[in-house]
Amino acid sequence: MLKKLVLSLTAAAGVMGAALSGAAADTKIPFALDWKFEGPSAAYFAAVDNGHFKAAGLDVEISAGKGSLDAIPKVATGKFPLGFADINSLIKFLDQNPGAPVTAVMMVYDKPPFAVVGRASQGVSSPKDLEGKVLGAPPPDGAWAQFPAFAAANGLDMSKIKVEPVGFPTREPMLAEGNVDAITGFSFSSFLNLVRLGVAEDDIKVLLMADHGLSLYGNAIIVNTDFAKANAGTVTNFLSAVAKGWNDVIADPEAGAKMVAKRNPASDVALETRRLKLSIDQNVVTDYTKANGMGGIDMARMKKALMQLGENYKFQNTPDIGAIYTDAYLPKDGSLMLK
């Protein structure tokens, strides 16, 4: 697969070169999201609409995605110089494709949205309550992939938990109808889906894995390393603009949701405002980012995260943190600090 990546990178070099041509014109940057245009993507649109990219001399085109496994190869091949993806998926990708030219350069979700979501009325309010219950889990689900480490961290006896494979579209409806007692999923999406299905909010119990023993990080800005080496200043300017966009939507989530609605007219502004707020409160603004700003990682925590990831995934090679993440391109203009 790496050979294909190298070939694709060579083919894409002309595209990236063209994107960077023209001294007077703003530098064109295609940016690949991991998912469709929803509340949590508002920060990138704020960086566009509020002029942060423009002030940095950048002309950024944001593209929706179909998951991290869609975004990572786009960046690794050079089709997109920058993207947004789950760092755990990136770690596995680099293990399977050693030397692939892609790395994380700015942590955005200090806490990943991986969660187990239960209902108090069905006896699930804490991790231990899962024993003796039915857990609905889509096999490809990112949260389900982390469940073995979550179970180990909370001393759960997996033999006492009945796991029911479910589809993504039927996951929340099955919990709402009482056909399963809990589900795995992304915290903000599963919560809002259940509310829309009529489940009382105080009956919904979101067990964020990051609050129950997991040290894993979440989504990060990723970059094609060949592009970054040749355009270090551009990458730093991009990250500074993104951080300013995040501060904008943290200050005014509704304005951010309206920016999403401009690109996705079918979206509900109130719903996306709430989805964005949940993402901010659960994933972006944490004790660590309040003290240190966005973007960085704690090395000791990352080492523990890799050990926990190894409980769910068999590494072919020893993970190299230096290939997974670098802070070399983080801005030093104060933009990373949360206001």
Tokens of 137: 């889990």
- The angle at the Cα of 297, spanning 291 to 302, to the nearest 5 degrees, equals 130
pLDDT in tens, 23-81: 458 999 999 999 999 999 999 999 999 999 999 999 999 999 988 889 999 999 999 99
Q: How far apart are the first and last CA of the chain?
A: 43
pTM of the model: 0.89
Tokens of 212: 């129950």
Q: How far is CA 94 from the centre of its chain?
A: 17
Tell me whether domains 2-111+216-324 and 114-211 share a fold. Answer: yes
Domain topology for 114-211: D-Maltodextrin-Binding Protein; domain 2 (3.40.190)
CATH number 1.10.1370.40 given to 2-111+216-324: no
Q: Where are the domains of the chain?
A: 2-111+216-324, 114-211
pLDDT in tens, 94-149: 999 999 999 999 999 999 999 999 999 999 999 999 999 999 999 988 899 999 99
Measure Cα distances from 12 to 60, 64, 70, 82 in Å.
Answer: 18, 19, 17, 13
- Burial 112-136, CB ≥16 within 10 A → b, else e: bbbbbbbbeebebeebebbeebbbb
Pairing between strand 134-137 and 162-165?
parallel
DSSP count for the chain of H helices, then E strands: 16, 10
CA dihedral of 313, 319, 323, 324, whole degrees rounded to 10: 40
